[in-house]
Amino acid sequence: MQQELERELIGKCRDGDARFYEPLVRAYEPAGLRLALAMMGNLEDAQDALQEAFVKAYDAMPRFEPGRPFGPWFFQILRNQCRDMLRTRKARFRTESLDEGLDGRPADPESGPERRRQRNAAREAVWRGLERIGEEHREVLVLKDLQGFRYTEIARILEIPEGTVASRLYHARQALHDALVELGVEGV
C-alpha cells in the first residue's frame, strides 16, 4: 500500500471513521496471518489473534504517531496479542489444524507423490522443531525468515535494540538446529 494513501486512511480512522479501516485490514491481513500462524501454529488461533490485534490497533489509533509506517506498529500489537494468548492458555502452539489447512490447498501438479511426501515430512519436522524452541526464538525466526523483515524492523516489532537482533537470531537458529537433531532430522 502506498505510504500517502496509508497515511490518509489512518487519519480518517483516527477521526473515528471505521469504514476507512477496511483497506488497511485487507492490506496487512496476509502478512499478519503468516506471522500469527507461525506464532500460534494453527489457523483457528491465528485468526482469533489477528482479529483481536486489528481491533486493538483500531482502538489504539489515537496514540499512533502520524507519519510512521503502520506495518511494524501493527505487527508489534499482533505479536503481543499472540504472546498474551499463549500465556493465558487460551491457546497453545499446536500445528494439527495448520497442517490440515495446508493440505486442503490444491496440490502442485508438477510434484509427484514421493516429492510431496518428502516435502510434507520436512515441513512437519521444521514445525516440530519450531514448537520445541519456545516463543522468543520462534518469533524472531518467523519475522526474519518467513516475513523477510530487516533487522531495524524486527528490533521495532520486538522492542529490542537493533544490535540484539543478530544475537537473538543466532541463538534461535542454533536452538532450531539442536531441536531438529534431537528429532532425528538429517542434513541440518
Partner 1 sequence: MREDVSDMDLMRYLDGEMPPEERRRFEEALARSTELQRDLALFRSLKEEVRALELPGAAPSGSVWDRVSAHLFRPAGWAFLAVGLLAWLAYGIHVFTTAPIDPWRRLAVAAVAIGVLLLFASVIRDRMREWATDPYKHVRR
Residues forming the site for partner 1 (CB under 8 A): 18, 21-22, 25-26, 29-30, 33-34, 37-38, 43, 47, 50-51, 54-55, 58, 88-90, 101-102, 104-105, 119, 122-123, 126-127, 130, 141-142, 144-146, 150-151, 163, 166-167, 169-170, 173, 176-177, 180, 187-188
8 Å CB contact between 14 and 64? yes
Q: How far is the CB of 8 from partner 1 (least distance, A)?
A: 19
CA end-to-end span of the chain: 38
DSSP string, 13-76: HHTT-GGGGHHHHHHHHHHHHHHHHHHHSSHHHHHHHHHHHHHHHHHTGGGSPTTS-HHHHHHH
Rank residues 69 and 101 by Cβ distance to partner 1 and give the closer one.
Answer: 101
- Please say which residue, 104 or 109, places its beta carbon nearer to partner 1: 104
Nearer to partner 1, 67 or 91 (CB): 91
CB of 141 to partner 1, least distance (A): 6
Nearer to partner 1, 60 or 67 (CB): 60
Q: Please, what is the minimum distance in Å from the beta carbon of residue 134 to partner 1?
A: 15
Contact 165, 154 (CB under 8 A): yes
User: Which residue type is seen at 5?
Assistant: L
